[in-house]
Amino acid sequence: MTQTRRNLITGGLAVAGASLSGMPLPALAQKYNEQQSFSQNELVGSGHKFFGNVSRGLALTIEEAVRRWGEPNGYVLGQEASGAFVGGLRYGEGQLYTRNAGDRRVFWQGPSIGFDFGGEGARTMMLVYNLPVVDALYQRFAGIDGSAYFIGGFGFTALTAGGIMVVPIRTGVGWRLGVNLGYLKFTPQATWNPF
């Protein structure tokens, strides 16, 4: 099942899963301050390596997010796929980076509803703010999302839960237009259940 899901994301139809490997990492994420957060230059550098040729748009998007919310104390680099016809689904997987808790594989999935049509496959960088412990990421983050992709696109939104904010920055290919209300549920292991 995990391999089938991975094949679907690379095909742009669904997002992959992989088993969580190794021993669990320490669950502590340091309290938010300048020495434990990631600077705008670090985020842009990581994003350039991950996203490739969309560097100008990425730099401007990260600059705007840092201007609005400050420097995050964690970030996720990953891939996702989604589709919608009024109701929609999104699946993704990636790597969470923190200063003191190391790197950890994370998965996300979630439903949406709204005036939203089409499908997309995207590379995603998620800035994570006010993460007290890594395990606090494993919950539902709600928000409103808008998409306007025709062949390709780039954008970001903000999702919140319990004082933690996740800002997904996406660049993708596909065709998608609309606005929806939904949530992303983060899990330590892959699951097909978006609820």
**Can you give the pLDDT at residue 25?**
34
**Can you give the pLDDT at residue 82?**
87
DSSP 8-state secondary structure symbol assigned to residue 137? G
**Can you give the pLDDT at residue 180?**
78
Round to whole Å and give the CA distance between 47 and 185. 23
Q: Mean pLDDT for each consecutive 10-residue tract of the chain (195 residues)?
A: 39 30 37 64 75 69 87 93 87 92 91 82 89 92 71 72 90 74 91 85
Are the CB atoms for 51 and 169 separated by under 8 Å? no
pTM, whole model, 2 decimals?
Answer: 0.74
Round to whole Å and give the CA distance between 47 and 102. 18
Q: Quick one: which of 111, 141, 113, 148 has its CA closest to 127?
A: 141
**Can you give the pLDDT at residue 6?**
39
